[in-house]
Structure formats: structure tokens, C-alpha cells
Amino acid sequence: MFDVLLCIHDQHDEWLVLLAALICVISTMSSVQLLRHARYLAGYAAARWICGAGVAIGFGIWATHFVAMLGYDPGVIAGFQIPATIISLMTAIAMTTMSFSTALAKPDRKGLALASVLGGGGIVAMHYIGMSALEIPADIHWNQGYVTLSLLFAVLPTGPALALAVRGRSVRSGVAAGLLMTLSIVLLHFTAMTAVRLVPAPLDLRTGILMSPGSMAAAIAAGALGLLAICIAVLAMARKARLVLHATERDMTILVKGITDCAIYMLDRDGNVANWNAGAERLKGYTATEAIGLPLAGFYTSHDRTEGLPERALALAAQTGKFSGEGFRVRRDGSRFWAHVSIEKIADENGDHIGFAKITRDMSRFKEDEDRLKAMAGHLDAALGNMHQGLCLFGPDERLLVVNGRFKEIWGLDREASLIDMTLEDVARLVLETRAHAQVSQARIDELHLLLAKPPADPTSSPVVLDLGDDLVVSMTGRAMADGGWVTTFEDITERRRSDARIAHMAMHDALTGLPNRSSFAHWIDAELEQARHFGHQLAAVMIDLDRFKEINDTRGHGAGDAALQHLSKRLLDVMAEGEVVARLGGDEFAAAKRFKDKAELANFLDRLDACFARPFGPEDNCFLLDASIGLAVFPNDAQQREQLLNNADLAMYRAKANVGERIAYYEPEMDETARARRQLSNDLRQAIDRNELTVLYQPQHGLATGELNGYEALLRWQHPTRGPVAPDEFIPIAEETGEIFRIGEWVLREACKEARTWPDGLKVAVNLSAIQLGQTEIVEIVRGILVETGLSPMRLELEITETAIIGDKLRALHLLRQIKSLGVSIAIDDFGTGYSSLDTLHSFPFDKIKIDKSFLLRSQSSAQARAIIKAVLALGQSLNVPVLAEGVETVDQLDLLKEQGCDEAQGYYFGRPGLSPSLAAAEAVRQIA
């Protein structure tokens, strides 16, 4: 090393050495600057800048060398070979350019190693080629050691120099890179020069163009000027870049300062405010002068301060580079606002932490919106939770967005289970599997999937019903939404379905027996008639009416009656076969029907029905038989339409009922005629009073002891305009059926009372009261009213009622009779001996008279039994102390029989036929005498 220093000191002109070093520094610094600029460019632009850098340093190396050589002491340099000089320059430029592009392209260790070899090699090559250009009167002998050292000096500093040049950003690193490069050039040069030992020899001027040291100096001066030009250009460029940067920075500052909708400011390393923008002033209320120097903690709430939040935020930002969060911050006036804060750590170009950039935004409005939204979501949740219906909201991607508790409840899902974000298919699978408690088939899942899937946009889409058997029936309604999603609501209609079914069953079935009722029987018949017409078969309609079923109810109680009906229904149902039906129409009325082809089938059906009545009902020790009247009509022979068919079966049933011993009657056309005539008669009867067709005849009643007249029985007559006289036995039942009896009965009573009022005081009038009339609560008032109206003493009125009138609703009938009797009217029991003739009836009410039915007296001549009954009834009357009247006395013998037996009163043709009212008769008699 000492040799090197000696070489510099002894053999070189110091001023030229300094000049060389200066040129070297300028060139290396320029090239570093150019290289760094190339870093930000690519392609051709980058190549241009890299070449510039290569030219700068290449020329620098070359100039350094030759300036130094000009100062080389020997002073014997005769000149420079031009070609070698030029080659040395070119080599230096080429190799450094290659070195730079390698270092830029691959700034890793390998790349930099290669680049430093190339760069160092360039310096070395330039030097030794340059030395070969020397023309001196000596031979050059090289010291091998110094040559090797010069190579190392050229290559070793180049590596770090390049690394600093291409990786570093700061000015310092750039300067360091330049100096290191300078170092390698200068070290190489002087170490290589130290290796030179000159042995004088005659100057052997080689052929070729030679350049004198003077021209060389001129060339170097020109080169140096060029380098200076490059340098100036580079400086200008750097200045321009700096100006642009400053301008942008200034713009930035203005921009940042001017931003008013958020606070942007800087904190120093300790977290104190370093600057302040308009937004910060607006947001926090401090002016810049007030704010600068304030600690960050000054903007926090006291609670957050005690929690140490500001310190934590700063520490986090310092540690990770960034902190962001939300929270309440305090303004200068103490008011609070909800802030979004971000704190970013800032470092200078060397990476040293210099402070924090802080951005604060007022999020109060968003926070309020958020809070409102949260509250709304809460309300919505509550509303959804309390909904009677289940609800699912699916997004356009078929994923579940919202679901309420009721949905889970309906499907039996766990209330806590989260279904959100599940796909449509998964939801379908889950609900089905939960209901089925097992795996379900894909087909079933697909089916539900389809039902749940997006409904058509049509808002009127009707609900679909998913019936999972007895277990669950769900009604689903979908509604599409604008965003492509949809809402489906679910209603558990299992109960509704069940009660609908129950109601439907109740509507079509009889409650007591469970048999089809009248309307479902009608439906069945209608449907069967349709079929029968189509396929040409026959249909039999059967009406079944129980005989004297009332008696069962009355004597054994309603419970026993109901049980019997249920038992009978079961029997009837049990004998039914395909194409047959049995129904209960009400009370003790049943109906059955059968489709059939030949008579034998029908006969078999009737046999089966008949057999149901063959066995007794009720408990074994107290059983009873039920009898029935069965009427039958057949489609198409007897009727075409349902109503007519059932009507005709009814007519046949009435026939069966009327004819004792005939249980089953077939419909015959005459029945229809009878019924038609009856209908006609009932129509005519309605106008009978108004048309004056009714009259009352009076039949005398005589006491037997003295034979004197006691009074008359009023008997109604109808003179029909076309048919002539109609017997009361024919039209009274019709009047009872149609309810006309109320009007007619009242009319007779009034006529009779008016008539009796004209008679001598002792004579009574007996008026028949129908059972139907006794069912009328107003009857008491009617009787009282007529008595008042006609002025007849109640003592002179007797009402005749038959036993059936009392049997119907005994308590009620007796109650009414008692009220009538309390008016002073006497009550006679009519037609005694027929019907029930129970002692119980006689005991249950204090009758004023017993009327033995005329049939007994009429048969008394021939029938010992009739005579016995007459005697028994007379004895009964005597024992009960109730007077007895015998009806139908036609002969003296009959009268004698009665007298013999101690009968009190009698009535009959023997005493007189029913005739004109006695007052009219008297007037007539007077007229005839006159």
C-alpha cells in the first residue's frame, strides 16, 4: 500500500491526480443518479437511461485514467495509440452498461455478483487496454502481485456500490454508491500503476495513428465537457423531478388542509398533534393554533382515557403500521360524536418512525342509522317471532336469508338451530328428515324443493298445500320479490283440515248412529241414478219406518230408544253390500237403496233388511222386538227422478203401515192417486172456512137414569163443492197434518159456544179437541177468549180428547188440561177402550167423563168380549167415581144393556143423529108449524 501511495506522490502530478479524482466522482455520481432514474422505467426508456449511466461512468473511468496518465511523471510519454485508446473507452462503456442492466434486472446477490464482476472487469479492461495505447521509450514490466491486487480493488467495492445504487432510495446511499465506485476506479488505477516498472528501451514507434499528449488533453477536455453536460442534464432532471414532487406535495397539503368532511392531521412520535386541517377544525372545534401540541388522548372520552385506549391505539399503529376503530370522541365543546378513526404509522425515506397520520370521520349519522336499523331489526325479529305463520326469505341465490321461530315450530325443528345461508334443497331435506325422523327419498325432497322454490311473479298466486298425512298439513304461499328473492309463508292447517273433515262428516252423517243422513242419501241416490241411466240397471229406494217406536221411548226411556236405534243401525250396516246404502233420515225413519239387475237380487236385499227386525233388541232379560214398515219404489219403473222415487217409496211405506201384517209394500200407481187426492183435499180444506163449506152438527147426549137431555156433541161437517160431503174421519187427519186444524178447531169451538149460549141453561156442549191442538200452548187462552167472547159459562162446555193426545207429551198435555179445567171447563176422555186404554192415563188426570168407544156397543150383540169390555169400563168408572158415556147406541137392546150395567149417559142414533143446531131446528119447527 505504501508503494501505491509513493507511486501517487512520487510519480504523479498531484493536481492532475486531483482533477482525475474529481472527474471520477462527478461521473460516478451522475451514473448512480441516471441508474436510479432507470429503475422506475421499463423497456426502451429504461435502456436509454441505463446506456446514459454506462456512458457517464465509462467516460469517467476513461477520463480518470488518461488525466492521471497525463500527470504520470516519467514525462516520457511520446503519444497515445488512437485505436487502443478508443477501444479502451468503448470497452469501459460497454462493460459498465452491461453491469448496470444486470444489476437492475436482478438486484439479488447472484445478479449483483455478476454485475460487479462485469463492472469491475470494465474498469480493469479499460485500464490495461489504455496502458497498451502508451508510446514510451521503455519496456513495461508488471509486478504480478500488484496486478492481482488491482483486479481485487476493481471488483470488490463494485458489488456494494451497485447494491446501494439500485436498492437504496436516500441521497446518502446514492452518494455512498458513487464514492464506492470512485474508490474502486481510483484504487485500481494507482495499484495498477504501482505494478509498473519501466525498463528504458528505444522508442519503437509502432505503425498506426498516434495522438500526442496535447491532443489527448484536448480530447479529455472535450470528454470532460461532455460529462459535465450529462451532469448538468442529470441535475436539471433531478431538480425538475424535485419541483414536480414539491408541487404535488404542496397540492396534497392544500388538498388535505382543505378537506372539511374529515379530520386529517399528523401526530408526532409521542402522539401530539403536529398539524391540523379544516376538517379537523370543523369536526373537533379546535383551531389549528389550539390543536397543535395537544395529545391524542385529549379527543377521547374520559372513560376511554382511563381505559388507556389512546395509548393502545398508538402502540398498535406503531407496532403493526395501522390502527383503525370506532368509538365516541369528544369535541372542544364537550359534545360527543361517533367517530371512525384510522391511525397510520409514518416513516421517513430511511424507514425511521417519525409520527402518525390520522384520519377521523364523523360517523354519528351512520351510527344512528345503524342503531335505528338494529332497533328495527329487533322489532322485526319480535314481529317475526310472534307471527302466527312460519316465514322464510330466500335470496336470489336460493339461500335462506331470514327465518322465524314459527317456521321451525311447524316443522318440528330445533328452535336454536341456525338455518341462515342454507340452500333451498338443504332446507327441504332438513324439514322432511325432521318430520320423517329418518332419511327421506330424493324424490320427496325434490317435490318439496319444487313447492318451496321461487313462485311466479304473479302476486295472486294461490297457496299450495302440502299434505304429510294425518300428521301435518301445511299451506304455503310464496311471493316473489324485486331483487329476485322470494318470501314463503307457512301455515299449519292440520287442525283446520281435521275440523273441516269432521264438519263435512257431520254434515253428511247422522250424529246418533253415524249412518249417512238425509242429504248424503240424496247425493248417493243422485249419483246412482246417473249411473243407472248410463248403464241401464235398476235402482230400488226403500223407506223404513219403525212402528210404535214412540212407545219404546215412552215406556223404556229415551236412552233405551237411542240404544235400540244404534243397534238397529249397526245391523242394517252389517247387511249392506257393494252398491247398497242405508241412511237414517231422522227419528225412527230409515232409508236404504240398492242398484240391481234382476228381481232375485232385490228380493235378497229385502230379505236381509227384513232379517234385521227378526231378532229382539235391548238387554236379554228385558228385550223387545222392533217392527218396521218398509216401502219400496224402483227406478225406472216407478219413477224417473230422485224426489219422485223417494216419494213413491214413502207412499208404499204408508201402505205397509196401514195394513197390519204387511211389512213390505211395493209402490203401486194407485197409491199415487190416493196421495194426489189427499193433496187436493188439503188444498181445498184451506179455503173451506172462508167459503162457508163447514158446518157443525149436534148429536144429543142423554142421561140414562131419567132419560133427560144433558147436552149435545158438536160434530164437524164439510160440504165439498165438487165431491159433496167429506167425512171428518177423512179430512180431520189431513187438517192435522197441514196444521189447518188450529184454525178449524178454533172455528168449531166458537160456533159451538155461540150455539150453546142460545140453549136452555142446563144443556152442555161437548167439543172435540184434536191431539195437535193440545200441543199448542195458546190453547188455554183460546178457550178462555172464546168463552169470554161468546159469554158461555165454562160449566156448560166440555172438551173431548182422545188418549193419544195425552200420550204424546204427557207432562205438557196434563199441564194444559189442568189449566183448562181450572177455567171451569170439564174434560172427557174420548174413544176409551181403543188405543192404549191404560189405567195410568185415567189415574194421571181427574177426567170428568169417560166415553166408551162406539165400536164396543156396535159389536155388543155379537161379541162377548165387547160386552166384557163395556162392563169393565163401567166398573172402572164407578170405582174411580167418573161418569161413563156410551157412544153408538142404536137399539133398545143396547140401551137396556147399558142401563143394566149402570151406565150414566148415552149417545147414538137411538137418541138422534147429528143434526142441525137445536136453535135452527127449533126455528125450522116453528116455521113448519106456521
Binding site for ligand C2E (CB under 6 A): 699, 714-716, 727-729, 732, 748, 768, 770, 830-831, 854, 887-890, 908-909, 914
Plot region of 668 (φ>0 → left; ψ -120 to 50 → alpha; else → beta): beta
Complex with ligand C2E: residue 647 or 894, whichever CB lies closer: 894
Q: What is the helix (H) or strand (E) element at residue 142, kind and residue range?
A: strand 138-142
Q: What, of ligand C2E, Ca ion, none, does residue 761 touch, CB below 5 to 8 Å by kind?
A: none
C-beta of residue 343 within 8 angstroms of C-beta of residue 357: yes
Q: What are phi and psi of 756, to 5 degrees?
A: -65, -30
Q: How many whole angstroms separate alpha carbon 817 and alpha carbon 802?
A: 12
Q: What, of ligand C2E, Ca ion, none, does residue 277 touch, CB below 5 to 8 Å by kind?
A: none
Q: How many whole angstroms separate alpha carbon 257 and alpha carbon 687?
A: 113
Q: Give CA separation, 466 vs 472, 488, 849, in Å.
A: 8, 13, 75
Q: How many whole angstroms separate alpha carbon 538 and alpha carbon 600?
A: 12
Q: What, of Ca ion, ligand C2E, none, does residue 89 touch, CB below 5 to 8 Å by kind?
A: none
Q: How many whole angstroms separate alpha carbon 206 and alpha carbon 704?
A: 201
DSSP state of 261: S
Q: How many whole angstroms separate alpha carbon 610 and alpha carbon 808?
A: 28
Q: What, of Ca ion, ligand C2E, none, does residue 716 touch, CB below 5 to 8 Å by kind?
A: ligand C2E
Q: What, of ligand C2E, Ca ion, none, does residue 908 touch, CB below 5 to 8 Å by kind?
A: ligand C2E
Q: Give CA separation, 433 vs 404, 409, 428, 444, in Å.
A: 19, 15, 8, 10
Q: What, of ligand C2E, Ca ion, none, does residue 40 touch, CB below 5 to 8 Å by kind?
A: none
Minimum distance of ligand C2E from residue 732's CB (angstroms):
5
Please provide the size of the chain in residues.
930
The window from 208-216, 563-571, 694-702, 793-801 that contacts Ca ion (CB under 5 A) reads 793-801
Helices 109-132 and 43-70 meet at what angle, rounded to 10? Answer: 40
Q: What, of Ca ion, ligand C2E, none, does residue 601 touch, CB below 5 to 8 Å by kind?
A: none
Minimum distance of ligand C2E from residue 834's CB (angstroms):
10
Complex with Ca ion: residue 510 or 803, whichever CB lies closer: 803
Complex with ligand C2E: residue 448 or 732, whichever CB lies closer: 732
Minimum distance of ligand C2E from residue 907's CB (angstroms):
6
Sheet arrangement for strand 134-135: 134-135, 79-81, 210-211
Beta strand residue intervals within 410-537, DSSP E: 464-467, 473-480, 486-492
Grid cell of 119 as nine digits: 463492472
DSSP state of 399: B
Complex with Ca ion: residue 150 or 907, whichever CB lies closer: 907
Complex with ligand C2E: residue 100 or 731, whichever CB lies closer: 731
Site for Ca ion in 824-843 (CB under 5 A): 830-831
Minimum distance of Ca ion from residue 730's CB (angstroms):
16
Complex with Ca ion: residue 304 or 803, whichever CB lies closer: 803
Q: Give CA separation, 188 vs 10, 633, 907, in Å.
A: 17, 141, 176
Instruction: Give me the residue whose beta carbon is nearest to Ca ion.
Output: 800
Complex with ligand C2E: residue 328 or 747, whichever CB lies closer: 747
Q: What, of ligand C2E, Ca ion, none, does residue 909 touch, CB below 5 to 8 Å by kind?
A: ligand C2E
Minimum distance of ligand C2E from residue 766's CB (angstroms):
9
Q: How many whole angstroms separate alpha carbon 282 and alpha carbon 291?
A: 12
Minimum distance of Ca ion from residue 836's CB (angstroms):
15
Residue 905 interacting with Ca ion (CB under 5 A): no
Minimum distance of ligand C2E from residue 728's CB (angstroms):
3
Residue 768 interacting with Ca ion (CB under 5 A): yes
Complex with Ca ion: residue 440 or 779, whichever CB lies closer: 779
SS3 837: coil
Complex with Ca ion: residue 163 or 801, whichever CB lies closer: 801
Q: What, of ligand C2E, Ca ion, none, does residue 877 touch, CB below 5 to 8 Å by kind?
A: none
Residue 800 interacting with Ca ion (CB under 5 A): yes
Instruction: Print the binding letters for residues 713-752 with Ca ion: x by CB under 5 A, - otherwise.
Output: ----------------------------------------
Minimum distance of ligand C2E from residue 779's CB (angstroms):
12
C-beta of residue 589 within 8 angstroms of C-beta of residue 646: no
Count of residues in contact with Ca ion, rule CB under 5 A: 4
Minimum distance of ligand C2E from residue 734's CB (angstroms):
12
DSSP state of 774: G
Q: How many whole angstroms separate alpha carbon 96 and alpha carbon 50?
A: 9
C-beta of residue 568 within 8 angstroms of C-beta of residue 626: yes
C-beta of residue 699 within 8 angstroms of C-beta of residue 912: yes
Q: What, of ligand C2E, Ca ion, none, does residue 798 touch, CB below 5 to 8 Å by kind?
A: none
Q: What are phi and psi of 273, to 5 degrees?
A: -65, 130
Q: What, of ligand C2E, Ca ion, none, does residue 715 touch, CB below 5 to 8 Å by kind?
A: ligand C2E
> Which residues lie near Ca ion (CB under 5 A)?
768, 800, 830-831
